[in-house]
Every structure is written in structure tokens, then in C-alpha cells.
Structure 1
Amino acid sequence: MDSYRVIVIGCGGLGSSALYRLASELGPGVLGIEQFELGHHRGASQDHSRIIRLAQHEPHYAALAAPAYKAWDEVEAESGQQIVTRTGGLVVEDRVARRGAATGSRNIEGYTDMFDQYGVAYERLDADELVARWPQFRVDGGEQALYQAESGIVDAARANAVHIALARAHGAEIVAGTPVRAIRPDGEGVAVVTDTRTFRADRVVVASDAWTNRVLAGTGVTLPLSVLQEQVTYYSTPHLAEFAPSRFPIFMWHGTHNFYGFPVYGEVATKLGQHMGGHETTAEERTFEPDPVRRERYAAFVDRHLPRFGGPELYSKTCLYTVPPDQNFILDTLPEHPQIVVANGAGHAFKFAALIGRLLADLALERRPSQPIDAFTITRPALTDPSFPRSFHV
């Protein structure tokens, strides 16, 4: 067998970051295995842009937000590449549309409570103030908004490529186009079985997203994960200057549906998506065909609230969210096999990816994690109690 200190299975957002952090400490002796080509479009870590923000409504994510920015700063400093673009960011709450909905902490006050706790500067705006600042919006009058200047875009595809390049610079090996068929605890190590070779590692990090349970099958562990097919649409707006990153912020719009949007970035087009609006599928059965119902829903939102944001559709594309019942991350070792680390980003981890890589390295190297991750254990009721209800943050 080929032997390594640590093997990382899956080289998407979380896996590539873990590979870099491990290689930066261990040098040679770290291997990344990717079942498809590097940079593929079959999972979750693809496309040009993800939102990065300090705006969090739950304490276990608010605690990680500022350290995530610092982690991205470190990656940019070492690589000399820009990954994060600050645009400012809005959370807009359509209180009329959400009247009577059970939002929990997912309202303006939930975000401001966390901002106040962590000393983050922000501005609250009513509907008139929102339009006065950004006349691109059309409002009905019942909206409330929250603006935070540090919000912006993290370039997903670029970030993955940078993490891979840095990992190689530190001596990591990477094998692509190589599905892992099984991992088997082997004494204090792990055997990793592919079609052509069996590798052995002291520690393994499983960052396989929609394929997690397939990879874990040899351990006897099955996690209650839902795979959802999500989608975004790019619009070839003719009003480029109005939606340049320097003039238009990223936004989240909480109404009847929860939309999120980007200024012109990556493509010569704006971008709109809906959080948690997709149907359930599997990694094998998913299609790459966008849902026409959601296309029409997006277009209706743009027509009503951002008419100059729209234009001819450049394209719509799909991706996968892989989500535990409580929609929280999984960052932990297997209780019966602590040499195996499991990472799941629950469909909203990319903004934290640079930090999560370090946390996964901590777990793999048997250190106390540098940030609090008790909320993300693999033994919590959401993952161990079959009767635990799904409570996705929609």
C-alpha cells in the first residue's frame, strides 16, 4: 500500500482548504483524492461567487464569521491572489410577506443581536432609506434592511484552485478522476480503496458532500443527509455600471421566498438565487436542467423589485446542497473511529471554507480546534435521533 499521514477525500471547497492547511504543516505525506476532474461542476463548490458576510443570526456561526475573514486574508497573503471582494451587503426583510411566518432568529433583530454581541458596525434602514441609498431597488413600503460594509463575494472556483496550488506548493499529492470505493478502519489507521489502488493513512478527512454516505459505508455509519438540487440564474443586464461591485452590494431578501443576489462579477451579468428552494434528489439522480418554475419565480422577483438588474438570461445552472436535518455543519471525528474526520457544509459553508480547512486539520491532528465547533458534533440529536424533524432555514 501507498502510505500517507493524512488523506483528504474530496477536493471541493472544504476538502481543498483542509488539504492546504494539512500540507502547510506536514509537507509531503498528505494526499488529496478527487473522484472527478479538479474544478468539476457536479457538486456544491463551483461557480464564480459566494456571499461572505459577518451577518449571522445564530451564535455558533457568528463566532466563526470574523475568523473566517482572517483565514481568507491569510490565503490571499500567501498566494498573492485576490479571492474576496468587499461590496457591502444587505439583509432585506419584507415584513408584510413574512407576516405570520415562523422565522425564529432569522429576522433583522436576530442579526443585530449578533452584531451587538460581537461589536460589528451596521446600519438599519427603512424602505425609503434603502431606495434612497440604492435606487436600483423597488419596494412596497413594508421592508426593513440591514447594511454591513464588510460583506462581499468570495470567488469559489478561484478559491478552490488557489487552495490546491498552495497544497501542492507545500508538498501535497493529488489524484483526480479516482472514486473512493471504501474506507476501512485499519488498526489506528485507515485503508482507502479505489478501483486501482489501496492507500493507507494514519488519518482520513471525508469531505465528499453528496457522496458522504457512499464513502462512509465501510465504516458502518450512515448520516441523515438530504441532497437538494439548487440553481442560480445570470442576467445579461444592459445596466452594467449600476450593478458594478463598487455601486451595488450583495443582498439577501427575506420574503415569501428567500432570494440572494450579486452585482456583476465573474460573468458580464448579475446573478440571482433562492436559498433552499430546490427539490430533493441524490448525487446520482440529479439533473443539470434548471427548474422552469424557479426560473419564472426569479424573473417575477426581479421584475418587481430590481427591474434594471434583469435582462436576457445568460444561463441558469444547478448545484447540490447536502444538508443535515438541522441544517448545521458536521465537523467531527467518528466516535468509534476517531482517525476518520467528517466534514459537511450543509449548503452554506463556503464563506467559512478557509477557516474550516484549519479546523479539519486540527481534528485530523488531534488538537483542540482553534474555534468553537461544539454545535457541529456528529453525536448531536439531529444526527442520532431518527425522529428529529427537518428544520431547514428557509
Structure 2
Amino acid sequence: MTGSRVIVVGLGGLGSAALYRLAAELGSEVLGIEQFEVGHHRGASQDHSRIIRLAQHEEQYAVLAGPAYKAWDEIEAESGQQLVTRTGGLVVEDRIARRSAATGTRNIEGYTAMFDRYGVGYELLDADSLVERWPQFRVSGGEQALYQHESGIVDAARANAVHLALARAHGAEVMSGTRVRAVRPDGAGAAVVTDAGTFRADRVVVAGDAWTNQVLADTGVTLPLTVLQEQVTYYATPYLAEFAPARFPVFMWHGRHNFYGFPVYGEVATKLGQHMGGHETTPDDRTFDPDPVRRERYAAFVDRHLPRFGGPELYTKTCLYTVPPDQNFVLDTLPDAPQIVVANGAGHAFKFAALIGGMLTDLALDREPGHPIDAFSITRPALTDPSFPRSFHV
């Protein structure tokens, strides 16, 4: 049995960030273990782009949004790599469609309340003003939009690679293609059982996403996590200049369904996804086959509201969301085994990944995190009360 001071299990968005922050303090005493090849496409952290934004409609995330930008700035400064591209960002609320669908809880007022509380500047636009500013949109007249100029894109795959490179530069070891079969308490530390042998550490950070409960099985802890298969589509628009990052913002569209979209980035194509709505699966049973119903739903939205955004489908790809009943993060130590830290991003954490890496480091090193995490406790009712209803933020 070999030993390290801290082992990180799972090297996606949160795990790679934690590995870097830990290595920056502990150097070669840190080991990261990934069951697949680094940069694989089986989880949640693949692909080119994620939206980063100050626009948050809940206090527990609004308080982290500004610090998350600073954390990404630190990563860019140390690595010399650009990870964040500011495009500006829109939240568009189709109030007529939303009322008729009777779905969802987000609204413009929820975002502006948080902006006002934290002193963040923004603009409110009616449907006419939205189209005047961005004629790429087609509207019905019942839309209201919120614009915030700091929103943009964080490059997911590139960010993971940068975090891992920086971790190695600080002395961390990375083991890929190594399946973790179990993590269990071992005295004051923990044992990590893998196909390559058993490793012991003083502390373990489990960032296993859809595989979390498999990894934690020997601890006696099972979290009520729902795994969803989601998807995004890239469109080879012929109107590249109209949808360049300098001319078209990232956006979220809250209507009968909640869509999100990107300008041309990563591929010579625009990108559209739907927040939530995918079918339930498991990491072992999931497929990589796109849902044709959602593919058609995306195309209908583009035809109606962004006709020049579309074009020949370049490809549609799937990913996994792993979501607690309240769709809030899990960032905490196990109650009966505080040497084991658990991280779950609830399908929306990547924009905060650089910051969360530091918070997980604090937890692993028995420090109080520098930002509030009470809402992400592993002992909250959403995770301990079997009758707690699922209330995903759709």
C-alpha cells in the first residue's frame, strides 16, 4: 500500500481544479486518479464551452460569481493561457410562452435582485430593444431581456488540461486509465482501492460525478443523485461574422423550454443546448446517441427565434448531469469520515470550477473555506430526507 497526503478521485472540471490547488500547496504529496483517459467524453466536463456569468438568481451562487472570475484570472495569469472569453450575456424571458407552459421558477426579477444586492451593472431590454441591438433574434413581442457585459465563455476542455498541467508543474502525479473501486476510511486517513493497487492518503477528495455513489459505496453513504443524459448541437451557420464572439453574446432563453446558446467558438459553428430535460440513466447504461425529439426541438427553436444561427448540423453530442434533488452543489466532508471530501457540481458548476478547486483544498486541509458553503452541506434535508421532492431549476 503506497501513500500520499491527498488523493483526488476523478479529474474532470472540479477534480482537476482541486488537484492543481492542492499541488500548489503540497507539491508531490498529491495524487490524482482518473478512471478513463484524461480529457475523455464520458462525463460532464468535455466540449469547448461553458457559460460563465455573474447572472445568478440564488444567493448561494451570486456570492460566488465574482470570486469565480478572479479565480479564473489567477489560472490564466499562471498558465499564460486564455480560458475565459467575454462576449456579454443575455437572459431572455419569453413571458407568454412561460405562462402558458406553467413551468420553471426563474425570472428576470430574480437575477436583477441579486445584481442590485451585489452592485453589478446590467441593462433591461424589451423585445424591440433586444432586436434593435441584436437583429439576429426574432421575437413575438412578449420577451424581456437582461444583458450583463461580463458574461462569456470558459473553455471547458482547455481549462481541465491547464489545471492538470499546472498540477504536474507543482509536482502532482496523475494516474489515468485507473478505475477506483472503493474509497474507505482507514484509521485517521483513507484507503483508495484501484485496479492498480491500494493507495493510502491522509485525505481524499472524491469528484466522481456520475460515479460518486459507486466510489463511496464502502463508506455507507449513498447520495440521492439523479443522472441525466443531456445534449448540445453545433450548427455550421454560413453567417459566421454575425455570430462571432465580438458580435453575438452567450444567451439563456427561458420559455416553454429553457435553451442556452453560444456564438461561433471551438468549432466553426454555433452551439445550442437545453438546460435539463434529458432522460434518466446511469453512467454504465448511458448511450452516446442523441435524442431525436430534443434535436427537433432545438431546430424548431432556431427556426423561430434565430434563423441565421442555424445551418447544417455539424454534430450533436451527449453528456451527463449528476443532480441532487435540489440541484445544489455538494461540497463537504463525510459526517462520519471527515478525511473524505465529496464534490458534486449538480450539472452547473463548471463556471465556478477554478474557485471550487480552492474550496475543496480548504476542506481537505481542515480549513474553513473562504466562501460560504452551508447551502452545499452533505447533511442538508435534500440529501438526508427521503421524502424531499426533486426541485430541479428548470
TM (norm. structure 1) is: 0.99
Question: Counterpart of 2:213?
Answer: 213
Question: Counterpart of 2:225?
Answer: 225
Distance (whole Å) between structure 2 residues aligned to residue 368 and residue 184 of structure 1:
23
Question: Counterpart of 2:383?
Answer: 383
Distance (whole Å) between structure 1 residues aligned to residue 65 and residue 264 of structure 2:
24
Q: Partner amino acid for 1:314?
A: L
Q: Partner amino acid for 1:299?
A: A
Measure how far apart 1:103 and its partner are. 3.9
Q: Partner amino acid for 1:218?
A: D
Question: Counterpart of 2:73?
Answer: 73
Distance (whole Å) between structure 2 residues aligned to residue 262 and residue 16 of structure 1:
24
Secondary structure of 1:81's match?
coil
Question: Counterpart of 2:291?
Answer: 291
Measure how far apart 1:99 and its partner are. 1.1
Q: Partner amino acid for 1:387?
A: S
Measure how far apart 1:58 and its partner are. 0.1
TM (norm. structure 2) is: 0.99
Distance (whole Å) between structure 1 residues aligned to residue 104 and residue 315 of structure 2:
32
Distance (whole Å) between structure 2 residues aligned to residue 293 and residue 32 of structure 1:
39
Question: Counterpart of 2:134?
Answer: 134
Question: Counterpart of 2:190?
Answer: 190
2:278 pairs with 1:275: no
Distance (whole Å) between structure 2 residues aligned to residue 288 and residue 224 of structure 1:
24
Distance (whole Å) between structure 1 residues aligned to residue 358 and residue 346 of structure 2:
18
Question: Counterpart of 2:17?
Answer: 17
2:329 pairs with 1:333: no
Q: Partner amino acid for 2:124?
A: R
Secondary structure of 2:6's match?
strand
2:94 pairs with 1:94: yes
Structure 2 matches for 1:127-206, cutoff 5 A? 127-206=127-206
Question: Counterpart of 1:60?
Answer: 60
Secondary structure of 2:298's match?
helix
Cα shift readout 1:199-220 (whole Å, capped 9, x = no counterpart): 0000000000000000000101
Secondary structure of 1:268's match?
coil
Q: Partner amino acid for 2:348?
A: H
Measure how far apart 1:102 and its partner are. 5.3
Secondary structure of 2:352's match?
helix
Distance (whole Å) between structure 2 residues aligned to residue 138 and residue 182 of structure 1:
52
Cα shift readout 1:63-87 (whole Å, capped 9, x = no counterpart): 0000000000000000000000000
Cα shift readout 1:267-315 (whole Å, capped 9, x = no counterpart): 0000000000100000000000000000000000000000000000000
Measure how far apart 1:196 and its partner are. 2.5
Question: Counterpart of 2:355?
Answer: 355
Structure 2: 5+ residue stretches without partners: none
Distance (whole Å) between structure 1 residues aligned to residue 13 and residue 103 of structure 2:
32
Secondary structure of 2:222's match?
coil
Question: Counterpart of 2:241?
Answer: 241
Secondary structure of 2:96's match?
coil
Q: How many residues align?
A: 393
Secondary structure of 2:304's match?
helix
Q: Conserved in 1, the CA contact under 8 Å of 2:55 and 2:115? A: yes
Distance (whole Å) between structure 1 residues aligned to residue 146 and residue 339 of structure 2:
43
Distance (whole Å) between structure 2 residues aligned to residue 308 and residue 277 of structure 1:
25
Q: Partner amino acid for 2:70?
A: K
Distance (whole Å) between structure 1 residues aligned to residue 357 and residue 366 of structure 2:
14
Q: Partner amino acid for 1:19?
A: L
Q: Partner amino acid for 1:329?
A: F
Secondary structure of 2:97's match?
coil
Q: Partner amino acid for 1:82?
A: Q
Cα shift readout 1:327-375 (whole Å, capped 9, x = no counterpart): 0000000000000000000000000000000000000000000100100
RMSD between aligned residues: 0.6
Secondary structure of 1:352's match?
helix
Question: Counterpart of 1:264?
Answer: 264
Secondary structure of 1:28's match?
helix
Question: Counterpart of 2:35?
Answer: 35
Distance (whole Å) between structure 1 residues aligned to residue 41 and residue 203 of structure 2:
28
Secondary structure of 2:346's match?
coil
Distance (whole Å) between structure 1 residues aligned to residue 252 and residue 318 of structure 2:
19
Cα shift readout 1:126-174 (whole Å, capped 9, x = no counterpart): 0000000000000000000000000000000000000000000000000
Distance (whole Å) between structure 2 residues aligned to residue 182 and residue 249 of structure 1:
43
Secondary structure of 1:97's match?
helix
Q: Conserved in 1, the CA contact under 8 Å of 2:103 and 2:256? A: no
Q: Partner amino acid for 2:391?
A: S
Measure how far apart 1:184 and its partner are. 1.4
Cα shift readout 1:206-239 (whole Å, capped 9, x = no counterpart): 0000000000001010000000000000000000
Secondary structure of 2:234's match?
strand
Question: Counterpart of 2:125?
Answer: 125
Q: Equivalent pairs: percent with the same residue?
A: 84
